[in-house]
Amino acid sequence: MSDHRRQIAARREALCRRSERLRRELAGDAAALGERFALADRIVAVARSDAGRLLLIGAATLLLFSRPRRLLRLAAKALALWPVIVPLVPHVKRLFAARDPGATSA
């Protein structure tokens, strides 16, 4: 093999090692970003759900019609009840769907 071809082969090997290292770094960076955006994804999922819409409408209504201090107290109480309320949402939906036979479930 000529000297030029050996240099090209060595250069190719060096570039392949560099490419592999950069891929590993990129995968690590993407995983770190994925962890950071997981919270934002959960917030968006809740906001797009029926419960999230209800929560946003309720929060907007409270902002319009009550004082901020009262709102904060109410928000703290609602936050404490959130783990209890969320599992009940499908049951409440079924209850209302059973009352209204013409409605379709989402």
Q: Is 79 inside a domain boundary?
A: no
Report the domain count for the chain: 1
In this predicted model, what pLDDT tens digit does every residue of 14-60 receive, in sequence order?
999 999 999 999 998 888 888 888 888 888 887 788 887 888 888 78
Q: Is 22 inside a domain boundary?
A: yes
Task: State what percent of residues in the chain have pLDDT above 90.
Answer: 24
- Three-state secondary structure of the chain: CCHHHHHHHHHHHHHHHHHHHHHHHHHHHHHHHHHHHHHHHHHHHHHHCHHHHHHHHHHHHHHHHCCHHHHHHHHHHHHHHHHHHHHHHHHHHHHHHHHCCCCCCC
Q: Is 69 inside a domain boundary?
A: no
Q: Is 18 inside a domain boundary?
A: yes
Residues 90, 102 contacting (CB under 8 angstroms): no
Which structural domain, as residue segments, surrounds residue 17?
Answer: 1-48
Q: What is the pLDDT of residue 18?
A: 96
